[in-house]
Structure 1
Amino acid sequence: MPTPRRSFRERLRESWWVYARWLIVAVPILGLGFGFGMALFVFTHAGTYTGSEEVTRPAPQITSFTWPLRLGTRVNVLIIGVDVTINERRQVGPIARSDTLMLASFDPGGNRISALSIPRDTRVMIPGVGESKVNAAYAFGGPGLTVRTVASFLRVPVHYYVKLGPQSFARIIDAIGGVEIDVEKDMKYTD
């Protein structure tokens, strides 16, 4: 005796349960895979500082800057561009990281200036901290530790440093005469 043909609704209801079972199995597996992948990414790309150990800021051993600067031999100056950390209450936080690190070398004998930009994600050994990104040295120990880290990493002496904040670049441009920009239309921006 032939089996009776099932209605479209019965077949649809049965196929829906097949899809539901697959979803019930697949979603947790995908979630676990995503979680494992994120954990693997964080553990392989995060710095070594866990926040549990106390880091003391060493006293900077940098000579004070006097103007005019008399150059007799090569002088290396570390330029540190520092960001501002703003917390959820829109207050400036106490810890900042260096966004930009450049080492400028002034050679009066050859009448040349050379500059080297150090990528902020370069992994280096920070004295007293361990291996981390070079921009974390500023957060751990301010400009003094940053100077020591760069000097150790590049194996060159750093004689001076210059710290530039978010408004410093605009002030430097204004001090040398500014930049004229002609905007043809009124521009309005709301944040």
Structure 2
Amino acid sequence: MQSRKELKKQKKTKKKWKYLWIIIGVLLVGLLIYGLYFYNKLNDTVDTMYTPLDSDGEKEDEIKDRLSNKDTINVLLLGVDEREGDRGRSDTMMFLSLNPDTEEMLMFSIPRDTRVNIPGRGEDKINHAYAFGGAELSVQTVEEFLDTTIHFYSKVNMEGLKDGVDALGGVTINNERAFSYEGHDFPEGEITLNGDAALSYARERKQDSRGDLGRNDRQQKIIDAIIQEGMSFESFTKVDSILTTVGDNVETNLQMNEMRKLFLDYRGTRDKTIREEIQGSGQTIGNGWYYVVPNEEQQRIQSVVEEHMNKK
């Protein structure tokens, strides 16, 4: 027969467990509510951003097959400087190719003055494609230039880049050349940038001996840092401000189920980035200045893309 002391101890232990289960229950309910809120907020943001292209229907089956088989997916990022009453031009055109088999991401920028054939418009600077026909014509032009398929695109208002970096709490990059621009100092080495500084860092090119190519490198660093920071656990605590900023400044033809597949099956590609640079030279043709890419170089970059996509 148990003593009164033992019975009292058992009762106390049961009471502790009861409180513990209540606390666990409250936490689970809280997590469920937060999860539902997060999912609904994400759905609302994706709906706001979703801007399909006319050509999406032609690629629908290929995209479904690629996502289902975890094949390489190509993405075009457009950084656009838009002002009221003016569609603007794509100051930034960045090609990303995500290969989940090798867990590698191929990344390179297409210089904005690159002389290409713009479908229906003839030879012109590649950044004019956006001014002529928005994201639709930009995608078509890049597909022809690289002889590949662009499966998804994202258009980012460059002013919104500032808000996005601030929503993440800043980004950290390794800066290779000290310079100052728009009131910001950028010393060599590892530096942390807020939104305003990141936008200035991504825009400067006059002081860079490599001109647009140097700016492209810096833009890639910012995009890399945003991807890394956005995937971190700390970013989940800032979900409200991040989703609000993204919804206000991004357009894409990605739908919710496709985003989920990319996040689950392609996130490993962020760990290894393969960088390329399109080689060319500046030339004055007629009354315009262009970045002219020789046929051999165009064929080389096309081969790099094809090999990356088929690599196992």
- Report how many residues are paired: 116
CA–CA distance in structure 2, aligned partners of residues 71 and 116 of structure 1:
25
Structure 1 residue 118 and structure 2 residue 110: aligned? yes
> 1:130 — aligned with what?
122
SS in 2 for 1:156: coil
Question: What percentage of aligned pairs have identical amino acids?
Answer: 43
Would the aligned equivalents of 1:137 and 1:149 in 2 still touch at CA under 8 Å? yes
Matches within 5 A, 1:1-191: 60-62=54-56, 72-85=70-83, 92-178=84-170
Which has more radius of gyration? Answer: 1
**C-alpha displacement at 1:181, in angstroms?**
6.8
SS in 1 for 2:158: coil
Relative contact order, higher structure (CA 8 A, sep 6+):
2
Would the aligned equivalents of 1:62 and 1:144 in 2 still touch at CA under 8 Å? no
SS in 2 for 1:95: strand
Q: Which runs of 4+ in 1 moved over 4 A?
A: 179-182
Residue ranges of structure 1 left out of the alignment (5+ in a row): 1-58, 86-91, 183-191
TM-score (norm 1): 0.54
Larger fraction in helix: 2
Would the aligned equivalents of 2:93 and 2:111 in 1 still touch at CA under 8 Å? yes
RMSD over aligned Cα atoms: 2.8
Residue ranges of structure 2 left out of the alignment (5+ in a row): 1-52, 172-191, 195-312
Would the aligned equivalents of 1:60 and 1:144 in 2 still touch at CA under 8 Å? yes
TM-score (norm 2): 0.34
Change over 3 Å in CA distance of 1:110–1:146 after alignment to 2: same
